[in-house]
Amino acid sequence: MSQISPYLPSEHPPVQSPKIGVLLINLGTPDAPTPIAVKRYLKEFLSDQRVIELPKLLWQPILRGIILNTRPKKSAKAYSKIWTEDGSPLAFHTKAQAQILNARFGDNVIVDYAMRYGNPSIEKQISALKEAGCSRIFFAPMYPQYSGATTATVQDKAYEIFSNMRWQPAVRTLPPYYDDPLHIDALKNSIETGLTQLDFVPDAIMISFHGMPESTLHKGDPYHCHCQKTARLLAEAMGRELTLSFQSRFGKAKWLEPATDTTLERLASEGKSKLAIFAPGFAVDCVETLEELSIEGKEIFMQAGGEKFAYIPCLNSSDSGMEMLEKLVRRELAGWI
């Protein structure tokens, strides 16, 4: 609530009671499942040198001359398969997480969400939190495993925005939580709940992470190691074998292996005819899970000889997912609340 002190001059603007802002930040999504909207989104996303680690003079002609003239139509078709009345699944699930968290904190904490690429932008949401009286802002990149192309670029963007501010808020950032017991337990509960809802018992359970060029591993990016540890801890917690893979290969460079598509084919050829797949690297469902895994992955598996296939949803705003997220945020806000 605004306050007017008797010690302030009459013309002094109202002073906001200090608040804490919490900003959940996900990768991003087009505003609509159309080639124009997808092109606008991809232009911003693929122009980030944290994402495409090539010199601009080499990459930009390829991006503008080839990729942005061919890929948007294909990607728009994929988005149209999973688009809902509420819009993009990634957007409405992230929004739901923010709304639920906001209701669980007191009046002095404002929880909102932003997208690294697309809308609502990080810049817009930081501005809104400052205008609401937030002198401290906690950034929560929704990436369990750290990568320069995800967590780092969120922090890059935030500090780029702060560099133009005379009066900056105090800030904190959620660390990667790939091996946090809270995260592993939430994943375990989610998978086991999903399995009980199937009409078959899987011969194998796959866990698919978003892929990265193998070169990022050799440059020191910890993403591959973080994924491997998540997989190991989750398998130990569940007491069963999990088959790890990496999806979403792009371009001609060598990517992290084993690849999800070839692993699906291999398992089917080995007689694993009943399969469940889960994506523990995604905080919420999106085109990579709902289209690439649930639809395209099923087609690959069935064509290779599989008989039963099920995709188990991400944590999204489930009870176990929200309990984990609330505890992570409260822990990181210690001393602020």
Q: What pairs with residue 208 in β-bridges? A: 245
Q: Which CATH number fits domain 181-311: 3.40.50.1400, 3.40.50.300, 3.30.200.20, 1.20.1090.10?
A: 3.40.50.1400
**Rounded CA gap, 280 and 324, in Å?**
14
Locate CATH 3.40.50.1400 in the chain.
19-177+321-332, 181-311
Query: Which architecture does CATH list for 19-177+321-332?
Result: 3-Layer(aba) Sandwich (3.40)
pLDDT of residue 38: 98
Among 75, 94, 69, smallest CA distance to 282 is for: 94
Sequence letter at residue 309: F
In tens digits, what is the pLDDT along the chain, a chain of 337 residues?
455 556 667 776 666 678 999 999 999 999 999 999 999 999 999 999 999 999 999 999 999 999 999 999 999 999 999 999 999 999 999 999 999 999 999 899 999 999 999 999 999 999 999 999 999 999 999 999 999 999 999 999 999 999 999 999 999 999 999 999 999 999 999 999 999 999 999 999 999 999 999 999 999 999 999 999 999 999 999 999 999 999 998 888 899 999 999 999 999 999 999 999 999 999 999 999 999 999 999 999 999 999 999 999 999 999 999 999 999 999 999 999 9
**Rounded CA gap, 217 and 213, in Å?**
8
What's the CA dihedral at 150, 31, 88, 332 to 10 degrees?
A: 40
Q: Strand (E) positions, the chain? A: 19-29, 109-118, 134-141, 170-173, 204-210, 243-247, 274-278, 308-311
pLDDT of residue 16: 65
User: What does the angle CA 29 – CA 30 – CA 31 come to, to the nearest 5 degrees?
Assistant: 115
**Rounded CA gap, 38 and 33, in Å?**
7
Burial of 168 per CB tally in 10 Å (0-12, 13-18, 19+): middle
pLDDT of residue 284: 98
